[in-house]
Structure 1
């Protein structure tokens, strides 16, 4: 667990950049994630700077946000002062039993230790409640996005960051560890078209907030970002001015048993 813990704890060092550059979530994806929930009491778990929290508020949900990193939590509270935002983690959720109808995690479920987090999430969920993970993934069916994936490498474009691999990388994240009882039903996955207006500079800044990039040695990080800048500068779709980064929001949804 040492490497995942190091990666997951890296975001606080770039909380303001994360808030500025990371995309929001397709509204249709958030609605689909919530659709079978018995009510609108929603926990945004591993809420970061509040990207998903804001979408949930806009849909009328009664949201509580839980985030372990103090810098990320401070950014969330600054951006969404009306939202109840608490320090805590998926492995130790500061909420009573059966107190929410849905637990959503935006680009966070893969960081959870489900051997511990699974029972905690089941504890705070009402009967029949929903657990859903959401990920913004780049559409690497587009040629220049596939090129970006090649030159950026796994640090900039991780195993859950593109359409071609996010399903396989996430479909078993809700499963219990060996010897543990099943707490959630069979998962469903769906993708929803999305996009983000970017320039070459802002896309480079976005990729610089990836966990793998944040923990790289400075020289390696600059070399990787340099290759990305060169590709974007040589690609007609991205060389001049603004463009739309083609994306999808992928959702893994399951129900508490």
Structure 2
């Protein structure tokens, strides 16, 4: 990881692994269509490494697309949750700055909600080392869609207490011999207000808060959402930002 503090923050999810698995959103099927388009190959039959696999949310989707996927996860609690949920998927303990694999091992490497926990000066060379010559590195992350009024209001309400993580910025790849393509997929899921609160409670800045402070903030947000959505349900909107990185000379 980029630093000891960053590593500790990344591993904080171990404490909420079951809640993470139950509350976090997945990804739209359109995302994987675009991954295949930009990678220049189908996921079915591909050797895929899912880095920072967490509880296996993306791992499961890749497996269902027919990929021969290996999950890589540093956290003991998250790995245990993944093993219970997806016992058929090979699981390796490790992280993206030091990939425990031989060169030319994978057709595709993925990072779902996980790239920002790495140090690109180390994780990019490692990905290029273990990718096959025509391989692709695919990074994606769900972002709350602040174009929606209630989401923007929630962001304003919680912003003083949230340390935002960087996006998958294309400029971090500038020093490397790669081409970078970025796409955005808008999507949403129908959930309850309580499910929204449980989802927020798995974000790292809430996980590491003192419990009384965390519970107070989430209760405040729950009350605001209950006023807006008296029937107790809402559409939770996302912008899923995808970045696909390929060695120079490989055309998307």
* Length, aligned pairs only: 242
Relative to structure 1, the CA distance from residue 4 to residue 207 in structure 2 (aligned partners, 3 Å threshold; closer, same or farther) is same
The Cα of 1:76 is off from its aligned counterpart by 0.9
1:191 equivalent to 2:184? Answer: yes
Give 1:48 deviation, angstroms. Answer: 0.4
Q: In 1, are the aligned partners of 2:69 and 2:90 still within 8 Å (CA)?
A: yes
Residues 240 and 173 of structure 1: CA distance in aligned 2, closer, same or farther (over 3 Å): farther
Matching of residue 182 in structure 1 with residue 188 in structure 2? no
Find the aligned partners of 2:139 and 2:19 in 1 and give their Cα distance: 22
Aligned mates of 2:25, 2:163 — CA distance in 1: 15
Unaligned runs of 5+ in 1: 161-168
Q: Give 2:195's aligned residue.
A: 202
The alpha carbon displacement at 1:159 in A equals: 4.5
In the alignment, the residues of structure 1 paired with residue 64 and residue 160 of structure 2 have an alpha-carbon distance, to the nearest angstrom, of 34
CA distance in 2, matches of 1:38, 1:241: 42
Comparing 101-110 with 85-94, greater Cα deviation is found at 85-94
Q: Contact 2:48–2:106 at 8 Å: present in 1 too? A: yes
Q: Does 1:31 align with 2:33?
A: yes
Residue 112 of structure 1, CA deviation: 0.7
- Which residue of the partner structure matches residue 73 of structure 1? 79
Deviations 1:77-114 (A, max 9, x none): 11111111111110121222111011110000011112
CA distance, structure 2, for counterparts of residue 22 and residue 134 of structure 1: 14
Other-structure match for 1:16 = 18
102, 120, 125: which is aligned to 1:119? 125
CA change 1:56–1:80 in 2 (3 A) is same
Contact preservation (8 Å) 1:192, 1:250? yes
Alignment RMSD, CA only? Answer: 1.9
Counterpart for residue 5 of structure 1:
7
List runs of 5+ in structure 2 lacking aligned partners.
Answer: none
Equivalence for 1:51: 57
CA contact (8 A) 2:26 2:57 kept: yes
- State the Cα distance separating 1:200 from its structure 2 match: 1.1
User: TM-score scaled to structure 2, two decimals?
Assistant: 0.89
TM-score by length of 1: 0.87
Q: Give the stretch that moved more between structures: 146-155 or 195-204.
A: 146-155
Distance 2:33 2:130 in 1: 21
TM-superposed deviation, 1:66: 0.4
Distance in 1, matches of 2:185 and 2:163, equals 19
Distance 1:157 1:192 in 2: 24
Q: Is the 8 A contact 1:29 1:250 kept in 2?
A: no
Alpha-carbon distance change, 8 to 89 in structure 1, aligned in 2, over 3 angstroms = same
Query: Per-residue deviation at 1:14?
Result: 0.5
| 1:110-157 CA distance string (max 9 Å, x none) | 111122212211111001311111111221111111111111226558
Distance 2:116 2:36 in 1: 19
